[in-house]
Amino acid sequence: MKTDTKKSLAGLICAALLILIAELLPLPEGITRTGLLSFAVFFGAILMWILNSLPMCITALLMIFLMPALGIQDLNTVFTSFGGSSFFFAIATFAVSIALEKTSVPLRICHVLTKWSKGNPKHLVIGMCLACGLTSAVMSNLSTCIIYLNLGLALLSANQCKPGSSNLGKCLMIGLPCCAGVGGLITPAGTPGNLLIIDLLQTVNISMSFMQWCLIFAPLALICILIGAFWLTRLFAPEEITPEAMKSLEQKLAESGTLKTYEKKTILIILAMLICWFLGTWVSVLNVTVVAVVGMALLFFPGIQVLDWDSTVKKINWNLCFTIGSVGVLIGGMTATGIMDWIVEKLFAGITSWNLFAMFFVIGLVVCVLRAFIPTAPAIVALFGAPLLSLTALTGATPTALLAIPAFWACAPMLLWIEPIYLFSYGYNYYTPKDLLKYGTVPSLSMVALMSFLPFYVGLFGL
């Protein structure tokens, strides 16, 4: 039997055993049978995601429909809880990403950076990492990663860089996926998982606007990108870039010519969406999901027709969309049965008396390390979101400050290559797992320490 098959079956067996144990185990004081079962279903889903037992969305859908079968929640409640704004926001932002991917905008950004760097390889690496992160703020992380990796590979090929020995190759192949992930934190539109955090905050009557999100998270993301890029160019000093390599990028831009009509339409629609998202801070009808869906629809309008549905539907990441739609049901099951409050009381009671700085440092470090082994952002939000939200009453920290921890680390895996965005670059053999671990340790620890100040930082925005 193949190793992958064994691993997949192990996930299914472990999930089944968890549910069986939850059904037979004597009940600890303070929890109900349905609460224990909801806990088993949730962690069974986490194990199956980690071990890749089934496609991500199939796992999520299977586990949520086990809930009525096990008597945790009735079927109507499951249907009502599925999806929410996050599900439709994910579909819309994927469509917008597909439209932007068809344009030459990333190539033009790269050209500006090569001119700015004037051939200095360290400046070019830092500039490309920053540009990748900023592009990911309004575009799917995976799409952004693929586009910038293709630009980086073209540069490495023209520069005759050899996999395994080229430091420039290590810098670009490690830095670009990392920045594509972290850049997704800059705006709510950067990655669909951000809306899961906003949805969780709404359960405690906190409404976070597009602008408030950007004010809080954009500085954290940009600081992380810059720390990572500077450290990367010091750890792996990149070799010089030849004039021929620079000419290769110039030629690619020349081949793209001036902006086409469809590119101008795409840029105008995305700019209009960004303006509406910011205006949504004051105009309630301009909800982030409403604007995203309307913006997506405009891309299909007669006379605009930047996208057609037949090709778009094949490129939308339905796996992630349905997973995001299911996460709320899994969290809701644990919250409704009271198991979440019991877990928080048992696990975190010891640290609730600590000062906020120490508590946030320890929680951040735990989430950072566990994130390396859980290669899916929605799972991080699901795993830590609700428990941390329950800590509010025990610690005095605000819900926004506590949820900022899983929000950040869901977007910022920097230690292991098993994350999907790294798999795109890892296969080119420019770096090893040890190289990635050497790189990721410094920015990860730096951000854990910096985010210890979250209670004070978030307080500046009244959240």
Residue 55 gets which letter from DSSP? Answer: -
Contacts of 134 (CB under 8 A, 6+ apart): 183, 186
Q: Is the pLDDT of residue 442 over 60?
A: yes
Q: Is 361 exposed, middle or buried (0-12, 13-18, 19+ CB in 10 A)?
A: middle
Please name the residue that has the structure tokens 């023209």.
158
Confidence of residue 202 (pLDDT cuts 50, 70, 90): confident
pLDDT single digits (tens) 417-427: 767 678 678 77
Query: What average pLDDT score do residues 112-124 get?
Result: 81
Query: What average pLDDT score do residues 410-432 get?
Result: 80
CA–CA distance, 174 with 426 (Å, rounded to integer)? 8
pLDDT single digits (tens) 147-176: 888 788 878 887 888 888 899 999 999 999
Token readout for 26 is 């004597």
Count of Cβ atoms closer than 10 Å to residue 266 Cβ: 25
pLDDT single digits (tens) 279-328: 887 887 888 788 889 999 999 998 888 888 888 888 887 877 887 778 77
User: pTM of the predicted model, to two decimals?
Assistant: 0.77
Query: What average pLDDT score do residues 432-439 get?
Result: 89
- Mean pLDDT score of the chain: 84
CA–CA distance, 147 with 349 (Å, rounded to integer)? 46
- Asked which of 154-163, 252-261, 277-286, 391-400 is least confident by mean pLDDT, the reply is 252-261
Nearest to 403, CA basis, from 187, 199, 182: 199
Nearest to 425, CA basis, from 434, 437, 417: 417
Residue 238 gets which letter from DSSP? Answer: P
Chain centre to alpha carbon of residue 125: 22
pLDDT of residue 443: 94
pLDDT more than 70, % of the chain: 95
- Asked which of 46-50, 187-191, 250-254, 436-440 is least confident by mean pLDDT, the reply is 250-254
